Structure 1
Amino acid sequence: MGSGPIPPTTGPDAVPTAVISPEDEAPFRDDVTATEETSLLRSGSSSSSGTLGSEANLTEATDTNHHRNSTKDAAFTHRVGPSRVICIALSLWLLIFLQASSMSGMALIQGAIAAELETYDSAAMWFSSAYLIPMSSLAPVAGRLATIFPPRNLILPVAALLSAGSLLCASAGSFGFFVAGRVVAGVGGAGVLTLAIILGLELTSERTRGVVMGGINAGFTAGVSFGAIVYGGLMPVIGWRPLFWIQVPVALIAGLAVYLSLPSAVESGTAHRGSWKQKLVRIDYLGASLLALTIVLFLYGLVGDIQPLPILLSVVSLLLFLTVEYRVAAEPIIPIKVLSSRGVLLSCLAQLGLMSARWTVLFYAPVFMLAVRGAAPTTAGSILIPTNLGFGLGGIIVGWLHVRRSGAFWLPSVVSLIFFSVSLYALSLVATPDLPVALFIVVVLVNGLATGAGLNYTLAHILHLSHKDTRYITTSLLGTFRGFGGSFGTAIGGGIFYRLLRSNLTSGFLELDGGHLSKGRRDLISKLLGTPGLVFGGDLDDAARHVAVDGYADASRGVWQAAAALGIVMIAIQAATGWTAPQEEGCEEIDEDEARALITENEGVGEA
């Protein structure tokens, strides 16, 4: 998930069909076992088409087997030529960049969009939430579909959805139309990282797989880091609509390039048990729909003013979801065995809180620079460069120096979350109009370091807490909760931010105007709520600008203090996971289709 060396069980070690020549296939078919550091799928037999066998067993590791696997790995023969590999890599990287930049870039252009669509107040936060919610909620469905259809057949629909969503946004004439476009783009975004990771697993050998996964993570991190810079820099020059028009052909061309470059024989490791229609029927659509509905209702109830009815309905939807998973679904979207593990469940909840708090930094740090420090839109987004640089370094340093074994990482996980929470509180202390910007930059850098280290440590620790035959599932589930953190962080954090901002602006202008708000002042407050660039980019007088700056500064400090408080709760939850590994009573057989899908579901969505 994080940057740097990937901890144990990053991906399946099953020999992928797409990268094995016929003469090399036979030696790999038998006698393949799992090491302590990587859960390995063992293929029982091969189909006539050369795909992996339909039965996969997880077995215990030995150093001898690990050495044997390394030797076999060196014998891989790639069927995809260098030119095709370059085309696939660049095109996938471009799709990942488009997907990730659309998250952070929205923070700097939502004011201009809100002004043109005449949508102010806290409704503008749905520009981001409408994209993040379907992206994180539907990624498990995308993972299931990837076990039924070859990745080559899925890449075009995914690219088409991204393109169609951008087209709707670019031509939107109303708030509802624009949000609908963001939803469509989010549905497409749900499949981008899933397919990228599947292709990374299928088209690489075990020896080069870590580099490829790192490249995928780098694409996502670069999109988050530079998306705000690109959007903020181009928006004053070309406007916000061309930013979406540009994405329409780019997404289609990138998707078409991947489709044409991939050999038709590339499969996602599926063991074809039955027809694709039979597998399509087994997907837990009801569970996925109820899970998405639960998240939408819960977030809607917390956006802006707190609304009890949607929150209550979200609880009902959650109960229905759990009932479906336990009683109805043949293949639950979140397997029951995993949900029954206290350590795994608490680890996932801790990750949800961690990434929710992290997204308050990713989303509101550029807003702070724009509205409080008076940075230009081009440079306001550059504040994400040091924090994401820290994120990458934190993962690399931890992976290089410490996460080099299997076992418990309870104390490092807790300590990293402590540093993360302290950095959030420190951020609230330095978020003032007067202190040197260098202090703010240092603190966001430290926050990134703590996040990168925390993600690596907690991933390694949850693998220690998992049964060997469920490690793919728990890895995927951890990624799912990290992905939900983006939705929760922007929506719930946004609700806190805008409530504080509205209160601060109202009280500030009341004091400025002698206890009475004119209609003009009320309209100004409404515009300032959705347009941070108006603070220094509008025609405010010095007194009004002072009120606006103080309002944004206080709201920023408030949301980061709330995130720090959430971090303290997450420290307690992470500590409650314990450090004792479960007793192994024999590894159960695991369907290779399911294992491949589960490890790629939502992998990387929560900031790679």
Structure 2
Amino acid sequence: MESKDTVLDAQAATDHHHGKHYTHLPQRSVLAVFVGLVIAMVAAALDQTIVSTALPTIVGDLGGVNQMLWVTTAYVLTATVVMPVYGKVGDLVGRKGLFIFALALFTVGSVVCALASNMGMLIAGRGIQGLGGGGLMILAQAIIADVVPARDRGKYMGVMGVAFVLPMLVGPLLGGLFTDHLSWHWAFWINVPLALVAAIAAVRFLPKPQHKESLASFDVWGTVFITGAVVALVLATSWGGVRYDWDSPQIIGLFIGVAAFSALFVLAERRAKTPLMPLSIFKNRTFVLSTLAGLFVMFALMASMTYLPTFFQIVHGMNATTAGYMEIPMSVVYLVSSLVSGFLVSRSGRYKKLMIVSFALVIAGLVAMTTITQDTSVVLIVGGFLVVLGFGMGLSFEILVLIVQNEFPASEVGTVTAATNFFREVGTTLGASVAGAIFTRGLASTLSEKLASFGGLEALGVEANSITPSIVHMLPGELQRAIGGAYTDALVPMFVAMVPLAIIGTVLMLLLKEKPLAKEQAHEAAGL
């Protein structure tokens, strides 16, 4: 670890490039910064899935099965809408203070969730967590782009890909361990020490920004309009077919709102002095193709991870911890493929063929998941289907961000990284909300159908909104199997819906024009 004096020396080691400051950091300082960023990403990513195994118990305790999808959606929704804001503000005033601010917000949200005594408080806390977590994810990637050249960045991005997705994959295991051996509240308390360590690393090792610009020209209206569009989209996809019919005035009105806010956003960006998301980036073919592909990957990942632990608990009688163990094989292969892809791309400077292979594997994994029945072997699901899916996702996850960064100068890296991550999080949000809507609606109808001959749950003194794995396991064997069948029938349509998106992602990668990765480090306007 470097001393404070070393960091100050590094701050002073500035030069000029096209009239703008940039900062050189010693390799040991880069590694120290990197460790802090990885810890922050682990905390933010962990929170997207750590509740999945705890979710049946949480909503049962708080009486909110019908609000289950919002425990996940609230986090990814707020994380999504703030990503472009963090990216643009970081480019304007530097990223160190902003990174620490995001850590503070994330910690406050975690404490609110840990203390939650009702669903409203829990969902509010998840929203606050997202406001900080969205910043941690985008700023970590942007800071690495400030201090590492594109050609070498693949190695770092590979590790950061692991730091982001591996916690999402092992999160269910941790959530299960906490639920079974402590309490579900610890799924949120765990974030506090992680955030504290990351904050200490940031304060000590991140150099102060070498430039600051005024926030007076910040694109307020663009922020308002894009927030409105995302919120309307999430509400429409969450409520459609569940709370309201797809052709109801409420859902149609929300989709009209999406279109209206999007149009207003485009107008605002054309007039803004410093647009939140410059429209010029959409003229870059590589940006558009890579960003859309990343959106589809996140959609599939979030939909896959959110409800599988519930499936294992209800259908196969596992406790929360054991259901979490089911994610380990997918986690391991994801880790391997992400690291391998990072080093391969760094060595060769090429990436297109690897991306095509990645999406082909994702398609294979998703198609396999559509064949699941109540009697499908757990070994086949976990050791076969999910392994293929995880390996495919790991190959492309962080490399897609690197491809985008390689297309733009360093002064725009924060903005374009934020933009591509914004659309990834749109995919995450849609994955959670659409999958939740498909699952919730399907579960309601299949439960009614399969339990009709038993007189329904109410006849047994069980409320649908308070179903937990422990309650199901106390029921007679025939009834357990009927409920398990209902959960299985509700799960499969989610994977069916994802297959076309993975196919489109493959086509996008085929259309990608490969540009060799830059070897030099362009620290122009590095916003540390």
- TM-score, normalised to structure 2, is 0.83
* Structure 2 match to 1:267: 208
Task: Indicate how the Cα distance of structure 1 residues 207 and 420 shifts in structure 2: closer, same or farther if over 3 A, else same.
Answer: closer
2:86–2:98 CA contact under 8 A, matched in 1: no
* Structure 1 match to 2:42: 97
Distance 2:194 2:340 in 1: 34
Task: Indicate how the Cα distance of structure 1 residues 171 and 412 shifts in structure 2: closer, same or farther if over 3 A, else same.
Answer: closer
User: Which amino acid is 1:309 matched to?
Assistant: G
Secondary structure at the counterpart of residue 371 of structure 2: helix
Secondary structure at the counterpart of residue 475 of structure 2: coil
User: Which amino acid is 1:99 matched to?
Assistant: A
* Structure 1 match to 2:519: none
Q: CA deviation at 1:186?
A: 0.7
- Cα deviation, 1:183-230, whole Å, max 9, x if unaligned, reads 111111122133434554566788976554444333323321322111
Task: Indicate how the Cα distance of structure 1 residues 20 and 156 shifts in structure 2: closer, same or farther if over 3 A, else same.
Answer: closer
Distance 2:62 2:132 in 1: 24
2:157–2:402 CA contact under 8 A, matched in 1: no
Task: Indicate how the Cα distance of structure 1 residues 292 and 534 shifts in structure 2: closer, same or farther if over 3 A, else same.
Answer: farther
* Structure 2 match to 1:482: 424
* Structure 1 match to 2:166: 222
Secondary structure at the counterpart of residue 463 of structure 2: helix
- Structure ID, larger Rg: 1
Of 449, 463, 472, the residue aligned with 1:524 is 463
1:100–1:223 CA contact under 8 A, matched in 2: yes
* Structure 2 match to 1:170: 114
In terms of fraction of residues, the more helix-rich structure is 2
Distance 1:520 1:463 in 2: 59
2:95–2:143 CA contact under 8 A, matched in 1: yes
Contiguous gaps of at least 5 residues in structure 2: 1-5, 516-521
Of 16, 19, 22, the residue aligned with 1:52 is 22
* Structure 1 match to 2:496: 561
* Structure 1 match to 2:472: 535
1:406–1:460 CA contact under 8 A, matched in 2: no
2:63–2:466 CA contact under 8 A, matched in 1: no
Q: CA deviation at 1:378?
A: 0.8
Of 328, 353, 366, the residue aligned with 1:385 is 328
Task: Indicate how the Cα distance of structure 1 residues 113 and 21 shifts in structure 2: closer, same or farther if over 3 A, else same.
Answer: closer
Q: CA deviation at 1:349?
A: 2.3
- Cα deviation, 1:382-406, whole Å, max 9, x if unaligned, reads 2222223222333344454567545
Of 65, 86, 99, the residue aligned with 1:120 is 65
* Structure 2 match to 1:366: 309
Q: CA deviation at 1:443?
A: 1.4
Distance 1:468 1:493 in 2: 37
1:373-522 alignment runs, 5 A limit: 373-401=316-344, 404-405=347-348, 409=352, 413-455=355-397, 472=413, 476-513=418-455, 517=456, 519-520=458-459
Of 287, 291, 294, the residue aligned with 2:222 is 287
* Structure 2 match to 1:33: none
Secondary structure at the counterpart of residue 331 of structure 1: coil
Q: Percent of aligned pairs with the same residue? A: 21
Distance 1:456 1:97 in 2: 14
Q: CA deviation at 1:552?
A: 1.2
User: Which amino acid is 1:164 matched to?
Assistant: V
User: Which amino acid is 1:355 matched to?
Assistant: M
- Cα deviation, 1:247-290, whole Å, max 9, x if unaligned, reads 44x25633542354236xx134x544xxx4x2x12222322232
Contiguous gaps of at least 5 residues in structure 1: 1-15, 30-41, 54-72, 582-589, 601-608
Q: CA RMSD in A?
A: 3.7
- Cα deviation, 1:534-553, whole Å, max 9, x if unaligned, reads 433xx222122111111111
Q: Does residue 111 of structure 1 match 2:111?
A: no
Distance 1:354 1:79 in 2: 33
Q: CA deviation at 1:317?
A: 1.5
User: Which amino acid is 1:359 matched to?
Assistant: M
Distance 1:487 1:563 in 2: 14
Distance 1:476 1:302 in 2: 23
Task: Indicate how the Cα distance of structure 1 residues 469 and 170 shifts in structure 2: closer, same or farther if over 3 A, else same.
Answer: closer
Task: Indicate how the Cα distance of structure 1 residues 468 and 125 shifts in structure 2: closer, same or farther if over 3 A, else same.
Answer: same
Distance 2:262 2:150 in 1: 39
1:338-377 alignment runs, 5 A limit: 338-342=281-285, 344-377=287-320
